């Protein structure tokens, strides 16, 4: 006897905060597909690639779905003779990455944590690159292993672990910089503006005490800001895109709409003057794009 299957239509009524999260998730999803299609077409990503071969600010189950969709788009582009650029921010979930709990629908969405880089293209919106949560978890693993080996007085093993972490971080920064420059090329960007990073660790240092503060300071101290920016700069110039360095002072505090200065209490920025809301790192990227101006270019991008 065959099982009867039915389709149920579900309409979501998100709160304002949930709507912001869903919009960011859908933008990240569709942008990830565009990046993956370009990588597949240029042989930068093998056809049998897995989610371990690319970074995206998406839960792992949704990354799998994005990879399947990218393969489908790429195969279709072979028949069309042109690579389509998907623009509408959408996302797909299937029965492997969502479930219901009573009258509650649970779906994995964009992880609103710190990301290594945020890009704002003037007139074309924002894009988040990398997954800060995954990177911090990986670095905590390296630290825990080194600490255990230090306690056992295994000096050579500690040095070997340090070298392995540096190589891993270098590889991550190479991949992120490639994605950012490729995104800039597809958007017709003429200038990439990067934050001048002198003193960034001092500005970000925590003044509080305790185990959590020590952990945050350690992660900041080992975060390779300068290396990622350097990779972006030389790859952009090699692609014919000019690079400008801007002063990032107060860029995460100034409202992009009314220019009133606010201090974000969490990752979500809310302007007390005009009510503008958005991701705090997005605010920095938008303001960096306006920090300097060079005439003669129709488009510009800023990386925060």
Percent of the residues in the chain that have a pLDDT greater than 70, as a whole number: 77
- Nearest CA-CA partner of 291 in 258, 239, 260, 252: 252
List, in sequence order, every beta strand (DSSP E) within 165-221: 191-195
Mean predicted confidence (pLDDT) in 245-252 = 82
User: Within the chain, what is the greatest distance between any pair of CA atoms?
Assistant: 71
The ranges assigned to domains in the chain are: 16-106, 117-303
In angstroms, the CA 49 to CA 62 distance is 15
Specify the pTM: 0.56
Per DSSP, helices labelled H in 2-131 are 16-41, 60-80
79, with CB counted inside 10 A (0-12, 13-18, 19+), is: exposed
- Flag whether pLDDT at 30 surpasses 70: yes
Task: Tell me the pLDDT of the chain averaged across its residues.
Answer: 75
Lowest-confidence pick of 62-71, 107-116, 163-172? 107-116
Tell me the per-residue pLDDT of 40-72, one tens digit each, with 9 for 90 and over. 887 777 778 888 777 677 777 788 888 889 899
What is the DSSP code (8-state) at residue 153? T
pLDDT beyond 60 at 204? no
- The predicted-structure confidence for 256-294, as pLDDT tens digits, reads as follows 888 888 877 666 788 888 888 777 778 888 888 887 644
Average pLDDT over residues 116-128: 74
């Amino acid at each position: 006897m065959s099982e009867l299957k039915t389709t149920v239509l579900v309409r979501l009524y998100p709160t304002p905060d949930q709507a912001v999260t869903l919009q960011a998730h859908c933008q990240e999803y569709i942008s990830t597909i565009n990046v993956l299609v370009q990588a597949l077409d240029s042989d930068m990503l093998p056809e049998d690639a897995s989610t371990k071969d690319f970074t995206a600010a998406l839960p792992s189950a949704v990354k799998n779905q994005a990879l399947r969709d990218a393969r489908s788009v790429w195969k279709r582009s072979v028949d069309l003779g042109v690579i389509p650029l998907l623009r509408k921010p959408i996302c797909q979930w299937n029965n492997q990455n969502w479930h219901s709990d009573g009258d509650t629908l649970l779906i994995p969405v964009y992880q609103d944590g710190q990301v290594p880089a945020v890009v704002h293209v003037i007139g074309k919106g924002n894009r988040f690159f990398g997954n800060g949560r995954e990177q911090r978890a990986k670095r905590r693993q390296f630290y825990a292993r080194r600490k255990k080996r230090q306690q056992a007085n295994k000096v050579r093993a500690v040095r070997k672990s340090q070298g392995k972490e540096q190589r891993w971080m270098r590889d991550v920064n190479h991949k992120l910089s490639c994605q950012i420059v490729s995104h800039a090329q597809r958007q017709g960007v003429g200038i990439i503006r990067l934050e001048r990073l002198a003193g960034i660790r001092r500005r970000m240092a925590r003044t509080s005490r305790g185990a959590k503060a020590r952990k945050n300071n350690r992660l900041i101290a080992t975060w390779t800001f300068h290396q990622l920016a350097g990779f972006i700069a030389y790859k952009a110039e090699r692609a014919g895109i000019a690079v400008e360095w801007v002063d990032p002072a107060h860029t995460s505090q100034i409202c992009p709409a009314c220019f009133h200065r606010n201090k974000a209490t969490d990752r979500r920025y809310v302007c007390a003057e005009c009510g503008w809301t958005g991701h705090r790192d997005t605010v920095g990227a938008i303001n960096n794009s306006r920090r300097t101006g060079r005439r003669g270019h129709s488009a510009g991008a800023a990386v925060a």
